[in-house]
Amino acid sequence: MSGIFFVDSIRVWMRRRAREKKALTAKSWTLATGEVNHWKIVAADEEFASPGVDSQIEAAFHFMVNGEYFGGYLRSVAMVHREAERLAQGAPEVRLRYDPADPNRVAVLEEDNAGSLAFQVISG
């Protein structure tokens, strides 16, 4: 079993590193505002979950660039399921960053949304 744990921990580390690299790159991208248009409560990613804190909010959003619609997803930090249900509502604005060379490449950073959303997001 220890071999599986080792492989899982490497996979989690690689995923975290890729997310952090994307967030760092995205800091130089164009800042825009989008709107959440769909909510979903999902099981928390294994790197964020802990006993009793087993859910995350996944929100789909859209934004416009030069009259064209684009979209993306963001995820909250892990939280209790009933808290996620209470917070996942409405159509709030979300500040996002997109690659001007390819607006399909989108990142949502916690520092851009601190205080504007009812929950913290995971940058990336």
Domain assignments of the chain as residue spans, ordered by start: 2-113
Count the Cβ atoms, other than its own, within 10 Å of residue 36: 20
CB 48 within 8 A of CB 16: no
Helical H runs in 27-116? 81-87, 110-113
The pLDDT confidence band at residue 1, using thresholds 50, 70 and 90, is very low
Q: How many CA atoms lie within 13 A of 46 on its CB side?
A: 8
Specify the pTM: 0.81
Q: What tens digit of pLDDT does each residue of 65-80 get?
A: 999 999 999 999 999 9
Quick: pLDDT tens for 23-60.
888 899 999 999 999 999 999 988 778 888 999 999 99
Sequential DSSP letters for 7-27? HHHHHHHHHHHHHHHHHHHHT
State the number of CA atoms in the 13 A half-sphere of 115 facing the CB: 1
- pLDDT value at position 72? 96
